[in-house]
Structure 1
């Protein structure tokens, strides 16, 4: 019996590549010299897409694959997938939630601590010999007693909030989708109100059209010249031009960023700023989490082709729709 054909949009870790190739016939779009021609050549055989959160699957690609049944996302974010088109076509969409929650939350806290305490700059200070020749680094800022504002109180936002509370921070939040959090945390009606209350604003919202540019110049002004913005969510949530202006003028104190518009190419204005911590989109980047993400992608695809319920559907297969043989 032939293996189902899968279109892989971007590379995965080697062990996940091997596991996919063992169970499926994998067509690697990211290796194609002519991606559009590659899709045309294989379109009549492709029954699944394996992609990553930031790469997704747009309408043009979905429409080019007449036998497509499922889109499996390696990552929790699925805003780069055209969900409307997938739903209209009866195409299942899955992601990899839960398995990365704890590590992403840990990384958000690590970025907050690194930014407030100058950990990366301190390492560079010692390596350059400046400790011996120029003396101690400038003092950092205490975490305890500050207010953490969590914008997006889903799985990751809740995990970040619990960690902030454990560090002795007050917790405020804003999330019109998730509703109210624990009574010990302060719910606020909008991002400006949250930023006004917060010393550290942590972004844990999902991306997409409804959150694009939500953190704008007004939110950044409300966070203020002593505030810290931490983004472990999606770059699209922030008006990047406004963020750069705020950092350059001192309207915002600092930022710790794991995501950027157009990544991996980063606006060089960021690289010139001393008040920003830059990370290469690695909040979920542990061996353990990436292995669990790969297993869940494989489990979703395997379950679909064996006719079993999907472990983590964003859009389940439409009831009564039988996959083509």
Structure 2
């Protein structure tokens, strides 16, 4: 029997060499050239069936292999009908239309599980920053100004809070949200957790995290002292002007998900009006540009989309992408971290025998 064929997008693997040896022995791996990965040439190659048919697409690194841009229906429709699975590094998948992939019977797998620890650790840093006014204190100390130092020393504690006395609101309780809840509970005993997710978690999960379910995003923001966004971007702004008006006055916001989830202009206005008292941002709406008024505000702690950025995460991304394809195309017939499996139905354009 011929080996299943895998299209490898991006750089060669760097870390999991033993696993890759098994991967390469199990599949025929095809690697497009760098020029073939640019969108016009990539589309042409698919139209010409330059690589023939293949069963899977493998993208082991988040920062390479995406030169063709967004995976919309224009691109997805050109894939051979043999394609069953796309396994990619990275937690977010705003660059790929997972609903469209489902209509074509293609399972998409991400790498969120590999980045959960790193993102959760960075979230704890941002939680401390917004609850303790650390951006204000940090900037004042670095300013070398005794006046700024004394101002921060005297006044920043007046609105600072211990996280353990507060209510944390989580929007999204997937792999990353759950890890944030676990670490917050361990770091800040006594912290209260309320969450909303499109799918309510089991009673066992809620009990283990001591997390209470809320029926809507609005219910979370009304109650929480700090709201953390840990949900995928599905093309819709989640925190807009209307939602910000429903926040508890003086509430805080941390976004480690995707910048497009937040209307940044509305957020500036909410800060200036005192509705929001502090913001932590790893992600931004127009990366690599950041909002200048948010950047200038001493109540806003910003990172450069590095919450998941560790070597350990990259090792895990690479490994998990291979394991998803090995599991799905192997005897088990299932992926480890499918994102859109629940959307694939009988009657879609490409019904898979493994469904």
TM-score class, shorter:
0.7 to 0.9
1:230 to 2:254 alignment: yes
1:320 to 2:353 alignment: yes
Contact kept in structure 2, 1:192 and 1:218, CA below 8 Å:
no
Equivalent residue, structure 2, for 1:261: 285
Deviation at 1:176, TM superposition (A): 4.2
Could you tell me how far apart the structure 1 residues matched to 2:210 and 2:38 are? 55
Q: 2:110 aligns with which of 90, 95, 98?
A: 95
Deviation at 1:112, TM superposition (A): 0.9
Equivalent residue, structure 2, for 1:145: 165
* Deviation by residue 1:102-158 (Cα, 9 ceiling, x = unmatched): 322222111110232233443443333235985362434122311111222333223
Q: 1:172 aligns with which of 168, 182, 194?
A: 194
Q: Which runs of 5+ in 1 are unaligned?
A: none
Could you tell me how far apart the structure 2 residues matched to 1:165 and 1:159 are? 10
Could you tell me how far apart the structure 2 residues matched to 1:12 and 1:127 are? 41
Contact kept in structure 2, 1:153 and 1:173, CA below 8 Å:
yes
Could you tell me how far apart the structure 2 residues matched to 1:281 and 1:232 are? 8
Equivalent residue, structure 2, for 1:295: 319
1:27 to 2:19 alignment: no
Contact kept in structure 1, 2:137 and 2:156, CA below 8 Å:
no
1:6 to 2:18 alignment: no
Tell me the matched-pair count: 318
Could you tell me how far apart the structure 1 residues matched to 2:327 and 2:78 are? 24
Contact kept in structure 2, 1:164 and 1:170, CA below 8 Å:
no
Equivalent residue, structure 1, for 2:97: 82
Deviation at 1:280, TM superposition (A): 1.7
Indicate the structure whose relative CO is greater, using CA pairs within 8 Å and at least 6 residues apart. Answer: 2
Deviates more, 1:42-51 or 1:292-301: 42-51
Could you tell me how far apart the structure 2 residues matched to 1:227 and 1:160 are? 19
1:195 to 2:199 alignment: no
1:59 to 2:73 alignment: yes
Contact kept in structure 2, 1:255 and 1:275, CA below 8 Å:
yes
**Secondary structure, aligned partner of 2:293:** helix
Equivalent residue, structure 2, for 1:154: 174
* RMSD of Structure 2 on Structure 1 (CA): 3.7
Could you tell me how far apart the structure 2 residues matched to 1:13 and 1:130 are? 48
Could you tell me how far apart the structure 2 residues matched to 1:74 and 1:129 are? 42
Contact kept in structure 1, 2:133 and 2:299, CA below 8 Å:
no
Deviation at 1:286, TM superposition (A): 2.0
Contact kept in structure 1, 2:251 and 2:275, CA below 8 Å:
no
Contact kept in structure 2, 1:258 and 1:279, CA below 8 Å:
yes
**Secondary structure, aligned partner of 1:27:** coil
Equivalent residue, structure 1, for 2:347: none
Q: Which runs of 5+ in 2 are unaligned?
A: 345-350
Flag the 1:198–1:232 CA change in 2: closer, same or farther, 3 A: same
Flag the 1:112–1:196 CA change in 2: closer, same or farther, 3 A: same
Could you tell me how far apart the structure 2 residues matched to 1:132 and 1:50 are? 55
* Deviation by residue 1:22-51 (Cα, 9 ceiling, x = unmatched): 94332256x669531343135511734345
Contact kept in structure 2, 1:149 and 1:201, CA below 8 Å:
yes
Flag the 1:64–1:171 CA change in 2: closer, same or farther, 3 A: same
